[in-house]
């Protein structure tokens, strides 16, 4: 499957469905920094020394066009590791977005430029640019393993990583789940309940009776 077809398929399913069908889910603290940000693209892993973003600057020069930087910053999240300057450079090189377990800034500019960013926080204080790191090597970001060849899907619901070696499996499972949910919607509109459709045991719930 071509990359454009993969991206379209993953985006159509969305992070919520993929998170239920084999995607590795990022914790809820990783959120879109502007309304409407979304991305489905190959991951480019980055590891920074805490408080320093030299590796991010280097990653922008080395990541393949269309990829999403997925960045670990260690235990110092409250820095502006990314902003308008890096965004402008990333767009010029055709990069697709950023996922970072740390802070970013210049949010208005990120939205105006249409660059999808998912971050832990927004922070004003800048980062250093002198310490070692890695680019293009496997990392763990917010407890989630990310390696070259994996795919990132981010939208209003959150962010997931789809392992590259399970891409077809996760896509198939996601499509099956989406088809099943379409059936649920039809049944619900026809008068069925979620209790009936999902075979739930309503006897476990104590009923206080109808209101007077």
pTM of the predicted model as reported, rounded to 2 decimal places: 0.93
pLDDT digits (tens, 9 = 90+) for 57-93: 999 999 999 999 999 999 999 999 999 999 999 999 9
- Is 192 among the domain residues? no
- Is 203 among the domain residues? no
- Is 11 among the domain residues? yes
Distance separating alpha carbons of residues 153 and 199, to the nearest angstrom:
31
What is the domain-level CATH number for residue 11? 3.50.30.40
Distance separating alpha carbons of residues 42 and 148, to the nearest angstrom:
8
Instruction: Provide the number of structural domains found in the chain.
Output: 1
pLDDT digits (tens, 9 = 90+) for 168-199: 999 999 999 999 999 999 999 999 999 999 99
pLDDT digits (tens, 9 = 90+) for 10-31: 999 999 999 999 999 999 999 9
Would you report the helix, strand and coil content of the chain in percent, each value rounded to 5? Answer: 35, 25, 40
- Is 35 among the domain residues? yes
- Is 178 among the domain residues? no
Distance separating alpha carbons of residues 158 and 153, to the nearest angstrom:
8
**pLDDT at 112 > cutoff 90:** yes
Domain containing 70 equals: 3-169
- Is 198 among the domain residues? no
* pLDDT score recorded for residue 208: 83
Instruction: State the average pLDDT over residues 29-51.
Output: 98
Distance separating alpha carbons of residues 62 and 21, to the nearest angstrom:
31
Number of Cβ atoms within 10 Å of the Cβ of 39: 24
- Is 193 among the domain residues? no
Q: Please give, one letter per residue, the 3-state secondary structure of 117-141.
A: EEEEEECCCECECCCCCEECCCEEE
- Is 189 among the domain residues? no
């Amino acid at each position: 499957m071509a990359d454009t077809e993969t991206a379209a398929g993953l985006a159509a399913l969305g992070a919520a469905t993929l998170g239920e069908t084999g995607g590795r889910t990022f914790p809820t603290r990783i959120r879109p920094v502007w309304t409407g940000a979304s991305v489905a693209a190959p991951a480019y892993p980055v590891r920074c020394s805490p408080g320093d973003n030299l590796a991010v600057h280097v990653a922008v020069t080395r990541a393949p066009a269309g990829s999403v930087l997925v960045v670990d910053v260690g235990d110092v999240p409250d820095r502006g590791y990314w902003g308008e300057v890096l965004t402008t450079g990333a767009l010029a090189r055709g990069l697709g977005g950023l996922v970072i377990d740390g802070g970013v800034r210049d949010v208005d500019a990120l939205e105006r430029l249409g660059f999808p960013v998912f971050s832990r926080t927004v922070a004003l204080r800048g980062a250093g640019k002198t310490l070692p790191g890695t680019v293009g090597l496997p990392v763990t970001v917010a407890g989630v393993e990310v390696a070259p060849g994996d795919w990132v899907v981010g939208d209003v619901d959150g962010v997931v990583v789809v392992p590259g070696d399970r891409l077809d499996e996760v896509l198939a499972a996601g499509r099956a789940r989406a088809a099943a949910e379409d059936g649920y919607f039809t049944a619900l509109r026809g008068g069925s309940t979620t209790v009936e459709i999902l075979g739930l045991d309503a006897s476990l719930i104590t009923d206080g009776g109808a209101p007077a």
